[in-house]
Structure 1
């Protein structure tokens, strides 16, 4: 590991801010698009969103069929401009979502569906809101002292009659992304006058739902009752217990009582009822939003169906054994496991991708319709190149697979027309996407969830891959292929909590110490534009910068501004962008596509993302496109670059954890430079700070359906 202590001038620091930890997935929220011409050019992400909406509607219908209960005046406190800025900052990724749950706090199931979800026809993400409805909402916002530019978001969140809903319950403004309780309180005081009181049950319900939504943004699918009640108290709700019960009674949230096994789920034992003295199993009481609760139930049902069913008899046992015998070591284990099981887990680093590639090749030789899916086109293309010899074609993105824009399409029953599906970056699966995948698989299909368990978890709620690894309900194959070279040695050590010095004779790993954030920005630009191209031979366009957050003096905003000035200076005449700018495009929350600006015209901003042309309407540019020379680790997931510069400024040490460091360092193929201003915080994060716990119900839902050990 080399050290490069070359002195540098202090660069001008950007505005201070807070690292974006909870919402690291980047900018981008769903917006209305009513242009019918867009249907023909619909993006894969938009089609995926439409498919997810169809699945949620199906879950809604199923819920309605369930019988019985589930067991288990003044102005704003700030100015209107402050409220608008808060909303826009969260939407654009400049500010994190509320970190209310950043740290851990102290029914009958449906039958198998007769018909699988059908592919969704290309259509715009949403129909533009009626102008009269928006205008009515605008008038109410103005009356309450809120910025009228929020009218479209209000209508999108509350639907038809949004103005009446706001008048009846001003705290419904909390449904708009970025609005906080104190801002909704000011809006309510302006509308209600003397009738506005902190003990208003409408406020209690709205704040309860808001807290559950914030928890979902932090990765939880539900919250333990004690954690929710405590959080309500911190938000000034006088009677938190009554607020929760009222929210449940109104149907805005669901309550569950999940039995705890003897071995338990340690990170979820914050609240348990019963201690087993009377022969009763202890339970934990959870509260969750209907959307995620039902998606997790649907996922559990789908996984149980895969685990308990007999895989389709394609190829004899002898054929599978011959395929396994011709492979080596853990590849043979993987082939044998897939031969006899409907669900298989596979873990390993970058080198282990050769094993699912060999599995796909073997399955295709046996006549099976085998497909692999990555979350993004960068990962898809990288794996397709690696698997070309073993698997040939048959690599798609998860969104393209579900929408029907890529992959095998669907059969007459609406199921995916395949026999084997390998999801190659399974830690990125959130509960909604995972539920839609499992529900879409035909009976007798085999599902392989493969990935590196040490990387950051999904941007969306849940920890599907980690929950399945912990549950031990299906075969697990652990790759024995180590990632090679000094980079592989360094990253492998981080994965087990050790920050090792590694020998790097070819300058594969370089440490660049800095004194402050200003120097960090200066040295980063120097590395990307000069040092790495000159010393390593990797051009600037193949070097990616990764930093803990969007804000701060060395966050993505400050670094991107400095890198643009050096690498592609220009006036930013297209909404802050110029042709040739590197960008990060977020077509949907949690989805980031690296790309470049091609041009801009009346249609919008034209990008090239993974070789595909994308047009972002001008009204969407501010929300969904940012410069991309520098990314966060979550934005970089699923991709690798020849060279990576990881920036660790001193003002972002609270964002560091072992999964973050592992993910950031692991994005480098040939060279890693670490601009190091975190002192001992880096070693402490690697050794002592694991992934933050997430409260989920998946293990408890699977336990009664699947025997231990699968």
Structure 2
């Protein structure tokens, strides 16, 4: 380990690869890393936008004992709460009876698509919804029955498919030459009558993760013979849905029509337009349009050439196609945000006085934040780690003034760091987003089913996807205030959407930027990265150390040496408080290879519990986008016993493979929202294409006291910081907010 800080020189001028505006590029995550280098919608199968991956093997019960019936887990409770919230959102959307105008000025392919949708509106087939600009007056959803505030909702586990259904599906799979091991997944995905549905439409096999188009084509040929072909309507429809699902994995809530048609053409679909129309007619996808004119600009007028009368010019629009799930969540999120912005007019004098009292209790940057929150239903707060003291002061001032206030973070580590700050130390005032939604944390619900809150503060807001954000906003009562805070330079959410970035760009509410910088050499380094500069920073206390390496083998060796020996000895940070961050799971220096080497050095063992031993560091992913570090305790008939964030967790044997992996080394997406005393960032030579400014900012920003960089990418690092911003995501939130919330300026 080098004893003097080193930095890499800034890159010279160059031209980065920028995706075309019409492409379906996005932050796609596959086996190779957090962010795939190919931004197309043909993202690697099975990748998650959080970069997580199931660990190999499952936890084996001792002495062959059968698994017991574990109690409700936090993940199950959260999923159940999400189902309840989605039902509320769906009921609310069903109540909207006003006709939706759309498509009046469209022509060509866009008009054809809209005509295809309208053609089935009165028929037996489900019609695709055409989204136009929503009505400006949002409405509250129908109240749901009150639930006990102190209890998490009971987990709702989907019933396993019947054995006879699985057997029938297995027979069809065997006839088509597909692995019969897929039978339970296919039966669960297609439901009762799965075998008949699969025989009728073999391309439904593409709904199963990991199945590639060429494999589905071979399966269809085996079942249908000469009837199967590339121009089959069923094939085009299935590939349309698959591409939209992959776009969601990459972070998009919808795709532009041109991008989707182009991607279908690359998949060998002879008539992509017809494939999209078929998917719309069957209700597999939705089509909608968004105006592209500037907010507040008057509609352009043109003179009619024949009669001389003035008429309205055609408004530029973009036509998008998306899955109902994300379109519904994004529209509900916009409606809910508009409701919060517009619902303070009926506030009582008592509440206003409480906010005046809260504003008098703080000074400095926190006072500016409190004043903004006192007068607005929605406020954005930006800043780094040190800036979290301001929302903490807001929380304390609001609670001391008698207001019902609560703050949530993305991870348990973030929750604990927030709770340690002055003002937020009151018991019961902080939690996690997952805990609040599941009912395990927070104040519970009132008689109308809304959270019993006057103020909700959400930190780590860049990690909110559209579904999570919609559930939070829909859960707030009229008159409540919402503060979304976080560092906009970090990686975006694991799920689809870019909620925080869209809100900042829409300028639909006050924005309070903290002027409190992160201290020390690490704060100076990370702040420079945030504005595109990799600066040389003086680090007299060895806060930053660069370790150059020549190849993958040396990178693994030096990483293990740093964690096990150099950092504990020179920096006095033990190995269990040091985390390794690398761009991806695969490759010679991915998380799998590094975790294998670190386990051999730090906790050797045979891996007798599905690859794990007591004392192994792990990361538990109970739901997509959530990664909680922990330690293996033991395994028994109930499953794998872990300690995660100070809480005991039992993962059933059948879920271990998908939810638990070794955790000495993580990806940046897994590490976001948490911090460690020491961090070792590994940048092997083959990682150059995966680097971006948000990735480097996030990875380097996880260190509290010390950062070691195992550096093998040469000039690719400063080039990524200077020239590679976040990959764009196609979303609708800005356009939806423009019609409902006046710009705040």
CA–CA distance in structure 1, aligned partners of residues 668 and 189 of structure 2:
30
Which one of the candidate residues 43, 53, 60 is aligned to 2:73?
A: 43
Q: Are 2:570 and 1:526 equivalent residues in the alignment?
A: no
Structure 2 residue aligned with 1:123: 155
Q: Are 2:92 and 1:57 equivalent residues in the alignment?
A: no
Structure 2 residue aligned with 1:19: 33
CA–CA distance in structure 1, aligned partners of residues 140 and 565 of structure 2:
59
CA–CA distance in structure 2, aligned partners of residues 656 and 634 of structure 1:
13
Specify the SS of the correspondent of 1:386. coil
Residue 113 (structure 1) shift:
1.2
Specify the SS of the correspondent of 1:346. strand
Q: How do 1:27-106 and structure 2 match up within 5 A?
A: 27=53, 37-38=69-70, 41-64=71-94, 71=102
Which one of the candidate residues 523, 535, 541 is aligned to 1:500?
A: 535
Which one of the candidate residues 215, 232, 238 is aligned to 1:206?
A: 238
Structure 2 residue aligned with 1:609: 644
CA–CA distance in structure 2, aligned partners of residues 36 and 579 of structure 1:
20
8 Å CA contact 2:408–2:415 kept in 1: the answer is yes
Specify the SS of the correspondent of 1:707. coil
Which one of the candidate residues 330, 334, 350 is aligned to 1:300?
A: 334
Call closer, same or farther: CA 1:246–1:118 in 2, change over 3 Å: farther
Call closer, same or farther: CA 1:463–1:314 in 2, change over 3 Å: farther
Which one of the candidate residues 548, 551, 560 is aligned to 2:586?
A: 551
Which one of the candidate residues 203, 206, 212 is aligned to 1:180?
A: 212
Specify the SS of the correspondent of 1:613. strand
Call closer, same or farther: CA 1:574–1:264 in 2, change over 3 Å: farther
Q: Are 2:567 and 1:562 equivalent residues in the alignment?
A: no
Q: How do 1:117-516 and structure 2 match up within 5 A?
A: 121-262=153-294, 279-310=313-344, 312-313=347-348, 320-321=355-356, 323-387=358-422, 391-516=426-551
CA–CA distance in structure 1, aligned partners of residues 83 and 68 of structure 2:
19
8 Å CA contact 1:345–1:476 kept in 2: the answer is yes
CA–CA distance in structure 1, aligned partners of residues 282 and 172 of structure 2:
25
CA–CA distance in structure 2, aligned partners of residues 509 and 348 of structure 1:
22
Structure 1 residue aligned with 2:142: 114
Call closer, same or farther: CA 1:217–1:616 in 2, change over 3 Å: same
8 Å CA contact 1:343–1:475 kept in 2: the answer is yes
Per the normalisation by structure 2, the TM-score is 0.84
Residue 587 (structure 1) shift:
0.8
8 Å CA contact 2:341–2:376 kept in 1: the answer is yes
CA–CA distance in structure 1, aligned partners of residues 101 and 164 of structure 2:
40
Residue 406 (structure 1) shift:
1.3
Specify the SS of the correspondent of 1:691. coil
Deviation readout 1:613-642 (Å, 9 max, x if unpaired): 111111111111110000000000111000
Specify the SS of the correspondent of 1:701. helix
Call closer, same or farther: CA 1:190–1:389 in 2, change over 3 Å: closer
CA–CA distance in structure 2, aligned partners of residues 401 and 387 of structure 1:
22
Specify the SS of the correspondent of 1:694. coil
Call closer, same or farther: CA 1:584–1:658 in 2, change over 3 Å: same
Call closer, same or farther: CA 1:4–1:705 in 2, change over 3 Å: closer
CA–CA distance in structure 2, aligned partners of residues 552 and 457 of structure 1:
24
Call closer, same or farther: CA 1:44–1:308 in 2, change over 3 Å: same
Residue 583 (structure 1) shift:
0.4
Residue 4 (structure 1) shift:
7.4
Residue 409 (structure 1) shift:
0.6
CA–CA distance in structure 1, aligned partners of residues 531 and 580 of structure 2:
24
CA–CA distance in structure 1, aligned partners of residues 667 and 738 of structure 2:
36
Per the normalisation by structure 1, the TM-score is 0.88
Structure 2 residue aligned with 1:673: 708
CA–CA distance in structure 1, aligned partners of residues 54 and 102 of structure 2:
36
CA–CA distance in structure 1, aligned partners of residues 68 and 597 of structure 2:
39
8 Å CA contact 1:56–1:291 kept in 2: the answer is no
CA–CA distance in structure 2, aligned partners of residues 277 and 69 of structure 1:
22
Does 380-389 or 580-589 show the bigger shift? 380-389
CA–CA distance in structure 1, aligned partners of residues 510 and 81 of structure 2:
30
CA–CA distance in structure 2, aligned partners of residues 55 and 186 of structure 1:
40
Call closer, same or farther: CA 1:314–1:612 in 2, change over 3 Å: farther
8 Å CA contact 1:491–1:666 kept in 2: the answer is yes
Call closer, same or farther: CA 1:2–1:692 in 2, change over 3 Å: farther
Specify the SS of the correspondent of 2:709. strand
Residue 70 (structure 1) shift:
7.5
Call closer, same or farther: CA 1:491–1:117 in 2, change over 3 Å: farther
Call closer, same or farther: CA 1:24–1:628 in 2, change over 3 Å: farther
Residue 386 (structure 1) shift:
2.4
Call closer, same or farther: CA 1:71–1:47 in 2, change over 3 Å: farther
CA–CA distance in structure 1, aligned partners of residues 180 and 197 of structure 2:
16
Tell me how large the CA RMSD over aligned residues is. 2.4
8 Å CA contact 1:117–1:440 kept in 2: the answer is no
8 Å CA contact 2:614–2:633 kept in 1: the answer is yes
CA–CA distance in structure 1, aligned partners of residues 219 and 230 of structure 2:
13
Residue 390 (structure 1) shift:
5.3
Residue 250 (structure 1) shift:
1.0
Deviation readout 1:535-570 (Å, 9 max, x if unpaired): 000000000000000011100000000000000000
